[in-house]
A and B are shown apart, each in its own frame.
Chain A
């Protein structure tokens, strides 16, 4: 069964450094998402991406965040200058259709900012 793949599984970075989290969505999917979950808190939506542009973003997704689909397979989340409060599990998801499609999630990247 096809899966969404995320790398790395765990990333430790120093405050102020840039990080790039990588995702390979399911190949025939058209809609891509990033969510995050701070330890002990809810899974929160960050951004959705379709047709090479952001279709929706939350208040969390400020100027420090950016997303890109650099080639036909990867979908990346960049945090420009990490803060301690960016420490969280980051989930990538993809779906085939907009309204009827199930969102398939990756296994997550645990980001620890020290």
Chain B
């Protein structure tokens, strides 16, 4: 069965510092990976997905199949980046298209 691990429950950085939120996965096939973000009192929303290879709000994430990782990075954190971040995997083999989530990392950006 697929699994997503986010090893850090909390990551605290100062404004302007680089940020890396770690995500590792296990899946026997070739996965589809996503980062979702939940700002305070708001709903889960898609931040980015690996297939689109885009940068959203300055964040990027590269799928590393060798290391089975999909870390989220931003070179200069902003206070408005403070939120809960979830890495998620969607199977590409077999039935079903549900998302498997990691446990989430709370990012706090201090002024």
**A positions within 8 Å CB-CB of B:** 3-4, 31, 33, 35, 41-45, 48, 55-56, 58, 91, 95, 98-99, 102-108
Known: A45-B100, A55-B95. 6 other contacts (CB 8 A): A3-B43, A43-B86, A48-B97, A99-B32, A103-B46, A104-B46
Within the complex, what minimum Cβ distance (angstroms) separates A84 from chain B?
22
- B31 part of interface (Cβ distance < 8 Å): no
12 contacts between A and B (CB under 8 A): A4-B43, A31-B97, A42-B101, A42-B104, A43-B99, A43-B104, A48-B96, A48-B97, A58-B98, A98-B97, A105-B44, A106-B43
B45 contacts A43, C-beta separation under 8 Å = no
Q: Known interface pairs A42-B101, A42-B103, A43-B86. Does A108 touch B95 (Cβ–Cβ under 8 Å)? A: no
